[in-house]
């Protein structure tokens, strides 16, 4: 498949802009006499919120090196290629995901949704992770699952029984009620009207180097050692704030 000079220029421009600041900051820093449309905003790989060795020994630097540096980067690169020159170029990631889902554009959906899923997943883990949720989220987990232990069991079960690649989720519906779901491949809660509160990536690339085929052990370690309940609680509080607004 040949690449026209125009395509090449577009990709070069996107790559050059990816070297710059995160796209929100870049847009704000443009001189006021430059139309924003003059520079289509390419998606960029967000940095990990911690050092790549910070989750050791539970998740190795090597796993994060590949998972973030290769897999996540590839989804970003592919999404930029697929939206270049289309009406979706420069649109927010969420808009691209929903449009691709509605248009049954499977290739674009898979890549764009995986950009979102991985960005979300990195924040679902923390070097100071583990423990149990607190505050409003903790109360709602008690209410909707009966106990934290029952939630943990349901979440692990979702991850273990997701056949092939996919994700385990804690989601909230519009009323704030929590449930555990699993999705195949790149699918994510926003396309079914739910809000993601927490996720665990159960694609083999997430755990194979550290756990080989022992997905249940990976899920147990995720919940006991690295899960970031602070982030999940913020997601739940933000949902409540949006509903109140």
Tell me, residue by residue from 147 to 186, as one string, x for binding to Zn ion by CB under 5 A and - for no binding.
----------------------------------------
Nearer to Zn ion, 201 or 210 (CB): 201
CA-CA distance, 44 to 15, in Å (whole number)?
Answer: 9
The angle formed by the CA atoms of residues 132, 135 and 138, to the nearest 5 degrees, is 50
Nearer to Zn ion, 90 or 166 (CB): 166
Tell me, residue by residue from 111 to 130, as one string, x for binding to Zn ion by CB under 5 A and - for no binding.
--------------------
Strand residues in the chain grouped as ranges (E): 166-172, 178-184, 195-201
C-beta of residue 185 within 8 angstroms of C-beta of residue 163: no
Binding span for Zn ion by CB under 5 A among 87-95, 148-156, 165-173, 203-211: 203-211
Binding span for Zn ion by CB under 5 A among 33-41, 102-110, 201-209, 224-232: 201-209
Integer CA distances (angstroms), 208 to 48, 106, 148, 202, 243, in order? 20, 26, 27, 10, 40
End-to-end Cα distance, the chain: 50
Does 201 bind Zn ion (CB under 5 A)? Our answer is yes
Residues comprising the chain, all counted:
245
Q: Min. distance of Cβ 58 from Zn ion in angstroms?
A: 16
Q: Min. distance of Cβ 117 from Zn ion in angstroms?
A: 7
The angle formed by the CA atoms of residues 210, 116 and 144, to the nearest 5 degrees, is 80
Does 210 bind Zn ion (CB under 5 A)? Our answer is no
Q: Tell me the residue number closest to Zn ion, measured at CB.
A: 201
Nearer to Zn ion, 82 or 206 (CB): 206
Residue 196 sits at φ, ψ, to 5 deg, of: -75, 130
Helices vs. strands in the chain: H and E counts, helices first: 11, 3
Nearer to Zn ion, 59 or 206 (CB): 206
Question: Which of 203, 207, 218, 231 is close enough to bind Zn ion by CB under 5 A?
Answer: 203
Distance of CA 155 to the CA centre of its chain: 17
Q: Min. distance of Cβ 4 from Zn ion in angstroms?
A: 32
User: Which chain residues interact with Zn ion by CB under 5 A?
Assistant: 201, 203, 206
């Amino acid at each position: 498949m040949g690449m026209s000079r125009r395509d090449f220029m577009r990709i070069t421009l996107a790559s050059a802009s990816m070297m710059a600041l995160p796209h929100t900051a870049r847009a704000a820093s443009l001189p006021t006499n430059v139309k924003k449309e003059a520079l289509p905003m390419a998606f960029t790989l967000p940095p990990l919120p911690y050092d790549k060795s910070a989750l050791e020994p539970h998740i190795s630097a090597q796993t994060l090196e590949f998972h973030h540096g290769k897999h996540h980067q590839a989804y970003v690169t592919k999404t930029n290629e697929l939206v270049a020159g289309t009406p979706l170029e420069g649109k927010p990631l969420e808009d691209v995901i929903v449009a691709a889902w509605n248009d049954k554009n499977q290739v674009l959906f898979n890549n764009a949704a995986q950009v979102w899923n991985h960005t979300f997943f990195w924040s679902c883990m923390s070097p100071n992770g583990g423990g149990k949720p607190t505050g409003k989220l903790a109360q709602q987990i008690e209410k909707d699952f009966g106990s934290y232990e029952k939630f943990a069991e349901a979440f692990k079960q979702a991850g273990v029984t997701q056949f092939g690649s996919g994700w385990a989720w804690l989601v909230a519906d519009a009323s704030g009620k929590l449930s555990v779901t699993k999705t195949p491949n790149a699918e994510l809660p926003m396309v079914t009207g739910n809000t993601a509160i927490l996720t665990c990536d159960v694609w083999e690339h997430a755990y194979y180097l550290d756990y080989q085929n022992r997905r249940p052990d990976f899920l147990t370690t995720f919940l006991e050692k690295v899960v970031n309940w602070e982030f999940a609680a913020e997601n739940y509080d933000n949902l409540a704030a949006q509903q109140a607004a």
